[in-house]
Amino acid sequence: MDLLQKRIIFVGGKGGVGKSTTASALAYLLSTKGNRVLLVSTDPAHNIGDVFHVQAKKEIVRIHDTLDLLEIDSHNESKRYINSVKENLKGLVKATMIDEVNRQIDLASASPGADEAALFDRITSLILTERHRYDKIVFDTAPTGHTLRLLTLPELMNVWINGLLERRKKVQDNYTQLLNDGEPIEDPIYEKLQERKKKFTAVRDVLLDSAITGYAFVLNAERLPILETKKAVHTLSHHQIHVSTVIVNKIIPAHADGAFMQRRRECEQPYLEEIHTSFTKQQVITLPLFEHDISTLTHLQAFSTILEEAFSMYVNK
Ligand SMILES: Nc1ncnc2c1ncn2[C@@H]1O[C@H](COP(=O)(O)OP(=O)(O)O)[C@@H](O)[C@H]1O
Ligand SMILES: [Mg+2]
């Protein structure tokens, strides 16, 4: 099924290839076709707000009737997440222990991966709740490595939480033997972990459901983006995720004249061929290099028209 038909679309790729531009254009295009669209940027180097001339900070902002934007700052998200964890534990932990528990949480929050975990938590909530308020959610994700970890995190977390649940269950079994004549006692932390596990599993099901979620990678006709995209497509396929679409951006257009441009075009050619032979299981969409940056809404509209044409050409092939 076509990428544009999916309800959740992830746009990945190396920094600078035109990922945010493409994700914005896709979101814009879909929003002009009668869909309510939420565009979410998880890239720490946000620039989507600039294109739409809005300040997108923390909360969802309206771009127009059918298009909303949310830029998630993973560091802020991390702080917010840590506070909610502390809040949650307050009622569950003995008052004398609370300072020590908070100290441990602060330590954990400074560890590598904490921001990412918080970011993932936010994306999880978006997918599970906002999905029902919008027809489409388009994710502009950070550079490739980050995206991959993001997508494989539910699996890792599942393993981690299972281990934790098992250990807690053992402890709880011992307790119930000692305290309650073998009758099960309620364990709120156990319940909370179960809840989280359910959430992660639900999101994983959505991410793996190819009828709902689509994955596109943006790249340029250059060596490194091709290498990275190949690797990413391969890794994702190991996690049962099929990348349906590869978008080759910034191709030198036919009307670009002069010896210099001709030379550049010759350099590009073998890379384009490589892209076509490497990504036989993907739809390969090509987009031209513009004379200017895509930095205004008018530019973006022009860009999304070309994007639409490129998609429809593919469908008609
Ligand atoms: N087809 C294009 N032609 C000209 N400039 C482009 C094109 N696509 C993207 N750009 C510009 O390239 C720069 C990087 O694009 P961006 O979408 O921010 O990349 P990424 O999100 O992958 O880092 C931006 O200045 C953008 O306006
Ligand atoms: Mg970007």
Q: Is the dihedral of CA 24, 25, 27, 28 positive or negative?
A: positive
Count Cα neighbours of 250 within 13 Å in the Cβ-side half-sphere: 17
Range of the domain at 121: 7-77+112-316
Domain-embedded: residue 154: yes
Number of domains, the chain: 1
Q: Per-residue pLDDT for the chain (317 aa), expressed as one digit of tens each?
A: 589 999 999 999 988 999 999 999 999 999 999 999 999 998 767 677 778 888 766 789 999 999 999 998 877 877 887 888 788 777 777 777 788 888 877 887 777 677 777 787 888 889 999 989 999 999 998 767 777 776 676 676 677 777 777 777 777 676 666 665 666 656 676 677 778 778 888 888 898 899 999 999 999 999 999 999 999 999 889 888 899 999 999 999 999 999 999 999 999 999 999 999 999 999 999 999 999 999 999 999 999 999 999 999 876 44
Domain-embedded: residue 171: yes
Nearest ligand to the CA atom of 22: 1
Distances (CA, A) of 256 to 248, 253, 260, 309: 17, 6, 10, 20
Give the per-residue pLDDT at 24. Answer: 96
Give the per-residue pLDDT at 192. Answer: 74
Domain-embedded: residue 24: yes
Measuring CA to CA, which residue among 245, 291, 252, 288 is closest to residue 269? 252
Domain-embedded: residue 102: no
Q: Is 115 a catalytic residue?
A: no
Coil, strand, or helix at residue 102? helix
Domain-embedded: residue 255: yes
| 82 phi and psi angles, rounded to 5 deg | -60, -45
If you measure from the C-alpha of residue 305 to the centroid of ligand 1, how many angstroms do you get, rounded to a whole number? 16
Give the per-residue pLDDT at 138. Answer: 97
Domain-embedded: residue 104: no
Domain-embedded: residue 99: no
For Cα atoms 116, 118, 123, give the angle at the middle one, nearest 5 degrees.
Answer: 90
If you measure from the C-alpha of residue 133 to the centroid of ligand 1, how many angstroms do you get, rounded to a whole number? 29
Domain-embedded: residue 271: yes
CB-based contact 240:34 (threshold 8 Å): no
Q: Which value, in Å, is the radius of gyration of the alpha carbons in the chain?
A: 23
Question: Can you give the CATH number for the domain in which 270 is found?
Answer: 3.40.50.300
Q: Is the dihedral of CA 47, 12, 125, 35 positive or negative?
A: positive
Give the per-residue pLDDT at 317. Answer: 47
Judge if the beta carbon of residue 13 lies within 6 A of ligand 1. Answer: yes
Distances (CA, A) of 41 to 36, 48, 111, 135, 195: 17, 7, 23, 17, 26
Neighbour count for residue 172 (Cβ, 10 Å): 17
Number of H helices, E strands in the chain: 10, 8
- Choice from 293, 297, 299 to test ligand 1 binding pocket (greatest atom count within 8 A of CB): 293
Residue 313, Cβ density class (10 Å: 0-12 exposed, 13-18 middle, ≥19 buried): exposed
